[in-house]
Amino acid sequence: MKRHMAVKDLARDDRFVRSDMKDRLTDPRQATREEDRPGGTQKRGPAIRIHHPNAPDAARSLMHGIFVGEVQALEGAGRTCWDYDPGPARDEVPFELKLDMARQCWDEARHVEISCKLSDWMGTELGEFAESTMLFEAACNEDPVLRLTGVNRALEGLAIDVFNTMREFGQTAGDPVLEFCEDWMLADEVTHVKMGSDWLRRLTAKDPERQERALEFQRVVDKLFSYGGLRGDDDDSPVRLARRFRELAGFQADEIDEIAELSREATREREAMAAARTSASAN
């Protein structure tokens, strides 16, 4: 069987529509901020809050994004089991890492099932929102350590923030199905992120240059997936940084602070772009 599969080879049926990140983020149904909604001029705070007019669509879109992420996380962890021979060389991985990835496949397969049932419960059809393939692309790195930082630490770290936010959303809304689905997936995601943190430190203990390269890739993915400030540490962040769960997943306090700062930077850039658009249309 072929090793190091390309993103174009992913198997999907015709329900799935692939798009780039820009298209997905400009889908008005997924607007998580009032000012991003068509005609949304009144500032009513982040949409992932009950009583917000766009809350149902924003929640459905966010959870559909998680569903396609679960499919790709399964595919990515499966590839990491297969793509490398067991061994100590840089293009090999310890056998125990393969076992962790196999366990992750089992969890992600269960998350796909949970997400399908949750979509049904929330009134979403599979494929109703587009799929971007960034997660699998991050799982295609040749160096397995970059897969661990890009996927396990950055993207599954984001999944921790989303699950925790949506669990609280379900609690406040009085929706026990949403609340428990999020709670169960959150518990597994903390384990997956911890696997990433532990293996990063073990595999790069004697190779600081490799560690720095992997952490730099993580920063790039973290910033990209702050979605212009969607995920952050401030009261008006639609998705809140889940500090406690990130600590349990092996993040140090200064690493969490750094993600919060990346998110503020992404917010400032988004606001500057919006201001430039407004002044261009006024001229």
Residues that bind Fe ion (CB under 5 A): 70, 73, 108, 111, 156, 189, 192
Query: Which is nearer to Fe ion, 111 or 167 (by Cβ)?
Result: 111
Q: In this structure, which amino acid lies at residue 59?
A: A
CB of 182 to Fe ion, least distance (A): 11
According to DSSP, residue 243 is labeled: H
> What is the distance between the terminal CA atoms of the chain, rounded to a whole angstrom?
58
* C-beta separation of 249 from 193 below 8 A: yes
243: Cβ–Cβ under 8 A, 6 or more apart, which residues?
A: 233, 256
CB of 137 to Fe ion, least distance (A): 16
CB of 163 to Fe ion, least distance (A): 9
> Cα–Cα distances in Å, from 40 out to 32, 43, 50, 169, 266?
11, 8, 17, 22, 21
Nearest to 127 by CA among 186, 78, 183, 65: 65
Query: Which is nearer to Fe ion, 44 or 110 (by Cβ)?
Result: 110
CB of 192 to Fe ion, least distance (A): 4
Query: Which is nearer to Fe ion, 69 or 170 (by Cβ)?
Result: 69
Query: Which is nearer to Fe ion, 167 or 192 (by Cβ)?
Result: 192
CB of 177 to Fe ion, least distance (A): 18
Query: Which is nearer to Fe ion, 191 or 211 (by Cβ)?
Result: 191
Query: Which is nearer to Fe ion, 114 or 256 (by Cβ)?
Result: 114
Q: In this structure, which amino acid lies at residue 111?
A: H
Q: Which helix (H) or strand (E) holds 85?
A: strand 85-86
Q: How many of the other CB atoms lie within 10 Å of CB of 87?
A: 11
CB of 92 to Fe ion, least distance (A): 23
Q: In this structure, which amino acid lies at residue 223?
A: K
